[in-house]
Amino acid sequence: METEERTAIVRLLNDNDYGGLLKIQRENMAGSVPAGERSGGFLSSEFTVEQLRTLHESAGIVVATVGGSLAAFFCLSTLEANQDAPIVMAMRESMRSVLLDQRSMDSYSFVVAGPICIDRQYRGTGLFERLYEFAAHHFAGRFELAVAFIAEENQRSLKAHGKVEMVPVAQFEYKGVAYYLVARRL
């Protein structure tokens, strides 16, 4: 039976969360995760506090805390907040050729969903789904779609996104790395 202090609280980020977010981010960057452990998931992009603030102000960052410590984060942002992120621009370019209900995907109002990262000790506990559920309710009516990119090598992330109805709709390449474009309606 879980004790009160082990129960995850899912909410929007506040200023006190940046230190914990940066720690989880640093520990899960592709370069920090040994190749043999990458099947457990990893992050492809690293953000500064200033960049995270910009993302949060554009849409929002959802966090999960357990016992007062940050256990997970989920960044959601607008395209405008990602203008200096070449990989997001590459993803958007791939959206132009994907039709959804006979409309180009990039013609929809969409939120860039990601990165999302769960501290290793909390993976497989349902936090991923809870973060997405919170975000879907929080952003309902503001955006039509949630879109994300996942490195082809990151099969754990692709599988987890499938559980929240984020399905692959295209593939694209950026700097020699193959990515899936995944999307879902909000």
Task: Name, in order, each residue with C-beta under 8 angstroms of 130's C-beta and a sequence gap of 6 or more.
Answer: 8, 10, 64
Domain spans of the chain? 4-185
pLDDT at 30 over 80: no
CB neighbours (10 Å) of residue 10?
Answer: 18
Integer Cα distance of 25 and 39 in angstroms: 17
- Rounded distance between C-alpha atoms, residue 124 and residue 107, angstroms: 35
What's the sign of the alpha-carbon dihedral 74, 59, 13, 53? Answer: positive
How would residue 34 be classed by pLDDT, with cut points 50, 70 and 90? low
Q: What angle do CA 44, 151, 66 make, to 5 degrees?
A: 55
The per-residue pLDDT for range 101-154, each reduced to its tens digit, is 899 999 999 999 999 999 988 988 999 999 999 999 999 899 999 999 998 988
Tokens of 55: 């993302």
Sequence letter at residue 75: C
Candidates 103, 111, 106, 88; CA nearest to 172 is: 88
**Quick check: 74 and 62 in contact, CB under 8 A?**
yes
- Residue 160, pLDDT > 70, answer yes
CATH superfamily of 4-185: Gcn5-related N-acetyltransferase (GNAT) (3.40.630.30)
On the question of pLDDT at 4 being above 60, the answer is no
The predicted pLDDT at position 38 comes to 67
Locate 40 and state its tokens: 């457990």
Type and span of the H or E element at 182: strand 177-185
Counting beta carbons within 10 angstroms of the beta carbon of residue 121, is it exposed (0 to 12), middle (13 to 18) or buried (19 or more)? Answer: exposed
Neighbouring-strand partners of residue 74:
62, 116
Instruction: Please tell me the predicted confidence (pLDDT) of residue 155.
Output: 87
Handedness of CA 166, 130, 55, 49 (dihedral sign): negative
